[in-house]
Amino acid sequence: MNLVLLALVLQSSLVLPPRTGMENPAAVSPIPRKLQKNYDKLWKRFVGGTDDAKLRKDLDSLLQKEKTFDPAWIMEGYLALYKGDNGAARARFSDALKLNPNNRIAVYYLAELAFALGEYTQAATLYGQLLSMPVSLPDLDTKRQRATLLAMDSLLNGAATAERENRFSEAEDRYRQALKIAPKEAALHTRLADILLKQNRTEEAGAERKAAEALVPALAAKPIEADSTKADDLEDLGRWGSDIDVFHRIRDAEEATREQVALLVVRYFPQVTEFRQTPRIVTDIENSLAKSEIQMVVAVGLMDPLPNHAFEPAAPVTRGDLARTLARLSRMIGISDSSSLPVSPSDLAPTNAMYPDIQLVLASGLLAVGDSGSFDVSGRVSGPQAVRAAERLLRTFQQVQR
């Protein structure tokens, strides 16, 4: 797992609100009239938190009589969470979900526990299940996306390790799991074909090769050979998952747009989602493919909306805008201004407000001056240039973390 993702995982432990902030299970599952009075007393005692051991015993007694009463299982799950017993909490929420498959409280905490325990595929599935329920939770789609990317990253790294150690069956299983996440990714089909060849399963390898060729016809001209998939391709796939086509469009774009830069920032540096956020009004992103990413980069202060609160997602990003974003991101992740000799663009005075940001990105090699020595603040940025800048900043960050 790369260091960016590791930093994200280390921040993913389950953080609980005060008990008064926990949702009453009665909001999800109706309480029978005969149990209402007793249940209200139990809930009040939970919120008070004065004698959890006695409350747990009373809940056990209630469940012996009312085994299908899922609010009691949820309350026991809550108690386990506050005790720090994640295993018991998971068991109780699972019991509640068996009784009521629509219990969104159970689904939510099972998803959160799965993510905290590093079970990202399961977490992504559960977050996706929540998205299909009538529930409004902040950053839910972002959490699903983050879990999916971490799941893919874990699977690909595990497959590569298994392959190096000649554990081909395990590598095959991991690539097949990855294909469930990104079934239309040719690189995965090609990689799986290589593994099957190493196991002398020529017919199955041919089928996977044909699947890859159907997705990328140019592959038909290339023979099947071991290690035919570039490591960079798999790294990109681990970062983008089922959205790899979005990355390809950015990488091939003649002019990168503002929404594409927002996507690059969040995908290469997912830990920005954990930084302090100040929500701001943005009026024109409802139909953007990067709506959540734009909201994120604006909220943490990496990109700015216009004075009229528009973001203009499809507008080409300027070199000045990209420099500002990269400089802010560099400082945010702990990369200070370079002490090396400054690069002085011929078209930018040291008194210009953008000068410190442009100095930082030039000294870091994220962007460069043109042949004439000018920076061209209002110039456009190609997709490859934006991707290279993000990759260079990521490598710098990784070196700093070592």
Q: With bands split at pLDDT 50, 70 and 90, how would you rate the model's confidence at 398?
A: confident
Using alpha carbons only, give the angle 318, 322, 326 rounded to the nearest 5 degrees.
170
Tokens (6 digits) for 78:
């809550």
DSSP single-letter state for residue 400: H
- Left, alpha or beta for 312 (phi > 0: left; psi -120 to 50: alpha)? left
Token readout for 68 is 């299908």
pLDDT at 312: 95
| Four-point Cα dihedral 308, 312, 315, 321, nearest 10 | 70
How far is the C-alpha of 93 from the C-alpha of 99, rounded, in Å? 10
217: Cβ contacts below 8 Å, ≥ 6 apart: none
Decide if 126 contacts 151 (C-beta within 8 A).
Answer: no
Over the stretch 290-339, which tens digit does the pLDDT of each residue have?
A: 998 999 999 999 999 998 999 999 999 999 999 999 999 999 988 876 65
* Long-range own/partner contacts, residues 111-114 (CB < 8 A, 24 or more apart): 111/143, 111/147, 112/14, 113/14, 113/86, 113/89, 114/147
Walk me through the domains of the chain, giving residue ranges and CATH numbers. Answer: 3-136 (1.25.40.10), 147-246 (1.25.40.10), 254-401 (no CATH)
The residues, ordered by sequence, that sit 6+ positions from 57 with a Cβ below 8 Å of its Cβ are none
CA distance 353 to 232: 37
pLDDT of 2 over the 70 cut: no
Q: What is the phi/psi pair of residue 316, to 5°?
A: -60, 140
> Which two structure tokens, joined as six digits, stand for 304?
């700015």
Least confident of 5-14, 26-35, 85-94, 302-311: 5-14
State the DSSP H helix or E strand holding residue 372, giving kind and residue range, or none if neither: none
Three-state DSSP string of 122-185: HHHHHHHHHHCCCCCCCCHHHHHHHHHHHHHHHHHHHHHHHHHCCCHHHHHHHHHHHHHHCCCC
Q: Report which DSSP code applies to 284.
A: S
Amino acid at 33: R
Indicate yes or no: pTM above 0.75: no
- pLDDT, tens digit, 9 for 90 and up, residues 188-234: 888 899 999 999 999 999 999 898 888 866 555 555 444 444 445 66
